[in-house]
């Protein structure tokens, strides 16, 4: 374990704090070490620590370590990258105190699931045993209980904060913490770049839902790059796209070849105006717009493709006539800055030494992940996609005071905001129980300075409530 002492000014208040970079051993049913889960715990000096909230933070992937939220938004020190969707380039990179860090209100625990960061399986346990919806959630839930015991914090208010697949994990973990007398009720869950029902993101033949759920983000992207045909302000424009997506576009895709020709033309022309794509191209795709093809087609005439995680970013491809982009311009623009700065922070500021590399992303997890939920009682059922929204609905029914924040970037082509809205609307969750917030950026909205400030305010509101 590495323990270091620090001080920072957060929201105008000087806070002395410690960072514990530590591996927690989780045992199997026979008491044998099974998981060595590494975490970074930031504890503010306090005379009454049990009264302070604690927020458990993780990213997604699956297969991602927590460095993105750790070094981009929530930790006490963050790497600064251009706010205007330009590439961060090569080092040296600027890492500075995060004056927006909420350590004045809550202690912070950044969790790296097995196979990411320094976390690993122990003894005879295999990494594949941790790569799955259920297994991953059980391990993280077990860690949270172990942490509360180790630090004598069972009396503290408790929050979860996840990004991307981390939002799926957050709901799954919360479900496990609240069942089978686990006894860990939560005060709040922050879902950043939310994906709860994976059917809303799967561009598959016969599934028109993804096309409709991505459409408002396509339109927001087209408007940002000056390609949409409209004079409406952004908010009114996106409301019109939402209305069209649910009432005209999705029914048209459902009708398919049965659609009336005049109605087809009306839908196609509106779709072209909203997205900036040509009517001819939409005819050839049968009105369907895969996000990969959209990213390539929108600005093909000027030789650019737009980013996936953040469609404000643009990049150039080797083959200007190809169907899909060579890479994600928004990822390549910031990856080195985050990975390099995180490794530097761990070794210089936190004094972490290890004979293992810090794994920012484990691609094997994404390749081999077991997406199957636990089989329900009774006859076996076939479920080809994950939907944890019913679990969130149960948690809200059982916990009248549970706060849920859903934070979405308008230019996120990985977890589109309308997909989150659709998931939450269709699974029995009263609209008044969820706070929806939106930001003028993408998946990692904190790359945009005004959005980072807004996200911080929204997280603080949840903590104060």
The pLDDT tens digits of the residues spanning 146-198 come to 999 999 999 999 999 999 999 999 999 999 999 766 789 999 999 999 999 99
Predicted pLDDT of residue 324: 93
Q: Is residue 290 located within the same domain as residue 175?
A: no
Of the candidates 136, 223, 144, which has an alpha carbon nearest to the alpha carbon of residue 178? 144
Mean pLDDT of 64-78: 98
Mark which of 280, 311, 330 sits at the end of a domain. 330
Placement of tokens 């004979």 in the chain: 355
Q: Is residue 162 located within the same domain as residue 231?
A: no
Q: Is residue 298 located within the same domain as residue 366?
A: no
Mean pLDDT of 335-339: 97
The percent of residues in the chain predicted with pLDDT above 90, rounded, is: 91
Q: Is residue 170 located within the same domain as residue 22?
A: yes
State which residues form the domain around 224: 204-330
Res 41 pLDDT > 90: yes
Res 229 pLDDT > 60: yes
- Predicted confidence band at 378 (pLDDT cuts at 50, 70, 90)? very low
Mark which of 330, 362, 388 sits at the end of a domain. 330
- Predicted confidence band at 383 (pLDDT cuts at 50, 70, 90)? low
Cα–Cα distances in Å, from 177 out to 36, 65, 161, 191?
20, 22, 15, 17
Q: Is residue 16 located within the same domain as residue 133?
A: yes
Tell me the chain's radius of gyration from C-alpha atoms. Answer: 22
Mark which of 330, 345, 370 sits at the end of a domain. 330
- Predicted confidence band at 228 (pLDDT cuts at 50, 70, 90)? very high
Of the candidates 185, 52, 155, which has an alpha carbon nearest to the alpha carbon of residue 109? 52
Mean pLDDT of 433-447: 97
Predicted pLDDT of residue 465: 82
Q: Is residue 182 located within the same domain as residue 228?
A: no
Predicted pLDDT of residue 373: 82
- Predicted confidence band at 430 (pLDDT cuts at 50, 70, 90)? confident
Res 428 pLDDT > 90: no
Q: Is residue 171 located within the same domain as residue 141?
A: yes
Of the candidates 101, 90, 117, 63, which has an alpha carbon nearest to the alpha carbon of residue 340? 90
Residues 369 and 168: their CA atoms lie apart, in Å, by 13
Six token digits for residue 328: 């994600």
Q: Is residue 118 located within the same domain as residue 14?
A: yes
Mean pLDDT of 335-353: 96
Mean pLDDT computed over every residue of the chain = 95
Q: Is residue 54 located within the same domain as residue 176?
A: yes
Q: Is residue 108 located within the same domain as residue 48?
A: yes
Total of domains in the chain: 2
Predicted pLDDT of residue 384: 58
Res 93 pLDDT > 50: yes
Predicted pLDDT of residue 431: 82
Res 8 pLDDT > 90: yes
For residue 356, give the CATH number of its domain: 3.40.50.1820
Q: Is residue 177 located within the same domain as residue 326?
A: no
Q: Is residue 228 located within the same domain as residue 311?
A: yes
Predicted pLDDT of residue 182: 73
């Amino acid at each position: 374990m590495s323990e270091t002492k620090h001080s920072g000014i957060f929201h105008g208040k000087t806070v002395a704090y410690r960072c514990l970079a530590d591996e927690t051993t989780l045992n199997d049913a026979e008491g044998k070490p099974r998981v060595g889960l590494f975490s970074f715990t930031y504890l503010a000096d306090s005379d009454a620590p049990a009264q302070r909230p604690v927020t458990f933070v993780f990213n997604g992937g699956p297969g991602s370590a927590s460095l993105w939220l750790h070094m981009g938004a929530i930790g006490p020190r963050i790497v600064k990258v251009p706010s205007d969707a330009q590439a961060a380039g090569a080092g040296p990179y600027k890492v500075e105190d995060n004056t927006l860090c909420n350590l004045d209100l809550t202690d912070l625990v950044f969790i790296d699931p097995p196979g990411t960061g320094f976390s690993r399986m122990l003894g005879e346990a295999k990494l594949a045993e941790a790569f799955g919806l259920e297994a991953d959630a059980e391990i993280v839930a077990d860690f949270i209980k172990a942490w509360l015991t180790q630090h004598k914090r069972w009396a503290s208010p408790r929050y979860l904060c996840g990004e991307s697949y981390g939002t799926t994990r957050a709901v799954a973990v919360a479900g496990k913490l609240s069942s089978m007398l686990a006894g860990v009720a939560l005060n709040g869950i922050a879902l950043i770049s939310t994906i709860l029902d994976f059917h809303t993101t799967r561009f598959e033949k016969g599934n028109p839902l993804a096309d409709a759920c991505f459409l408002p983000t396509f339109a927001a992207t087209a408007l940002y790059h000056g390609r949409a045909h409209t004079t409406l302000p952004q908010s009114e424009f996106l409301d019109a796209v939402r209305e069209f997506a649910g009432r005209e576009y999705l029914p048209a895709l459902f009708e398919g070849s049965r659609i009336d020709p005049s109605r087809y033309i009306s839908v196609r022309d509106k779709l072209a105006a909203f997205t900036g794509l040509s009517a001819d191209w939409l005819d050839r795709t049968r009105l369907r717009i895969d996000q990969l093809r959209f990213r390539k087609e929108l600005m093909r005439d000027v030789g650019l493709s737009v980013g996936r995680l953040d469609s404000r970013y643009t990049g150039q491809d080797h083959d200007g006539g190809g169907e899909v982009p060579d890479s994600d311009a928004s990822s390549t623009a910031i990856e080195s800055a985050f990975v390099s700065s995180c490794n530097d922070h761990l070794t210089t500021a936190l004094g972490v030494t290890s004979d293992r590399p810090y794994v920012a992303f484990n691609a094997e997890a994404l390749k081999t992940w077991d997406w199957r939920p636990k089989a329900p009682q009774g006859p076996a059922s076939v479920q080809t996609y994950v939907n944890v929204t019913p679990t969130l609905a149960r948690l809200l029914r059982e916990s009248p005071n549970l706060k849920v924040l859903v934070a979405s970037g308008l230019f996120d082509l990985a977890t589109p905001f309308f997909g989150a809205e659709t998931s939450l609307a269709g699974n029995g969750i009263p609209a008044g129980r969820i706070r929806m917030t939106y930001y003028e950026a993408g998946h990692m909205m904190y790359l945009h300075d005004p959005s980072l400030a807004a996200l911080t305010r929204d997280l603080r509101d949840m903590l104060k409530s």
